[in-house]
């Protein structure tokens, strides 16, 4: 079940955003639970102190107390995969929102048209990321790594080294064997010795794939154009 938070100091806006989210859940056929807030400090407390988990947050930027921008900065360490949709009347915030890896920016003067699309895109991505795991079996251990937690996989001698949010795991497989076992379009080669999870790629710039965890990985010249095309194709077909 997808957990959604709606936060706006305007009660009527909270009600409207909640209704939009309910309709989007219905359209997507996805089960979800929506919690509403009119005070950003309450949302911040629930996440940082009571450890509430949210997959998606609809967040007004201009609020008393912690602004939406400040709140986004504070909750990211607790909810690394959360999708945040900013709602604001000030377009200049869009640049800062991009730097915070905000999923979508929705201007208030076009909210009726653009908010449902933003919510549906977020729900599709969350649904896409859930449920798949890569299993490592040996005589002494069984380890399951969710696909959504995997940042990249590198060749390491006779092993493949999997870097995920929980740390690094090694499996005695060739990189190609791991790639075939994953069998998922979100994983792509950026070099003969490295596979990256496209959902974690923030940008490809100056021959580097920049990931959400701050790591930059070199993209080989022979793979560069193909990587860009695969990224575009992936998001084009899934969002």
Q: How is the chain split into domains, by residue range?
A: 2-129, 133-238
Instruction: Determine the average pLDDT of the residues in 180-187.
Output: 91
- The residue with greater pLDDT, 178 or 238, is 178
Q: For the chain, state the CA radius of gyration.
A: 19
Instruction: Determine the average pLDDT of the residues in 66-75.
Output: 85
Of the listed ranges 3-7, 18-22, 83-87, the least confidently predicted one is 83-87
Confidence class of residue 132 from pLDDT cuts 50, 70 and 90? confident
Instruction: Determine the average pLDDT of the residues in 142-151.
Output: 88
Confidence class of residue 133 from pLDDT cuts 50, 70 and 90? confident
CATH number of the 2-129 domain: 3.40.50.2300
Q: What proportion of the chain, given as a percentage, has pLDDT over 70?
A: 93
CATH number of the 133-238 domain: 2.40.50.1020
Predicted local distance difference test score (pLDDT) of residue 105: 84
Indicate whether 54 pLDDT > 80.
yes
- The residue with greater pLDDT, 204 or 90, is 204
Instruction: Determine the average pLDDT of the residues in 33-43.
Output: 95
Predicted local distance difference test score (pLDDT) of residue 65: 76
Indicate whether 44 pLDDT > 90.
yes
Predicted local distance difference test score (pLDDT) of residue 101: 58
């Amino acid at each position: 079940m997808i957990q959604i938070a709606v936060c706006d100091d305007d009660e009527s806006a909270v009600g409207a955003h909640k209704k939009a989210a309910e309709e989007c859940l219905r359209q997507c056929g996805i089960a979800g639970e929506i919690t509403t807030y009119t005070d950003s400090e309450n949302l911040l407390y629930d996440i940082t102190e009571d450890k509430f988990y949210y997959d998606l947050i609809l967040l007004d930027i201009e609020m008393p107390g912690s602004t939406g921008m400040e709140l986004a900065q504070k909750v990211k360490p607790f909810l690394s995969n959360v999708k945040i949709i900013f709602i604001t009347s000030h377009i200049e915030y869009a640049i800062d929102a991009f730097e915070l890896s905000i999923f979508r920016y929705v201007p208030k003067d076009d909210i009726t048209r653009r908010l449902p699309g933003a919510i549906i895109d977020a729900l599709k991505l969350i649904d896409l990321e859930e449920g798949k795991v890569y299993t490592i079996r040996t005589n002494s251990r069984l380890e399951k790594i969710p696909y959504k937690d995997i940042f990249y996989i590198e060749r390491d001698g006779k092993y493949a080294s999997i870097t995920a949010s929980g740390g690094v795991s090694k499996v005695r497989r060739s990189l190609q064997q791991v790639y075939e076992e994953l069998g998922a379009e979100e994983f792509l080669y950026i070099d003969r010795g490295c596979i990256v999870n496209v959902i974690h790629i923030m940008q490809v710039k100056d021959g580097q794939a920049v990931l959400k965890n701050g790591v930059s990985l070199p993209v080989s010249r022979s793979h560069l154009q193909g990587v860009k095309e695969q990224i575009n194709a992936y998001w084009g077909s899934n969002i």
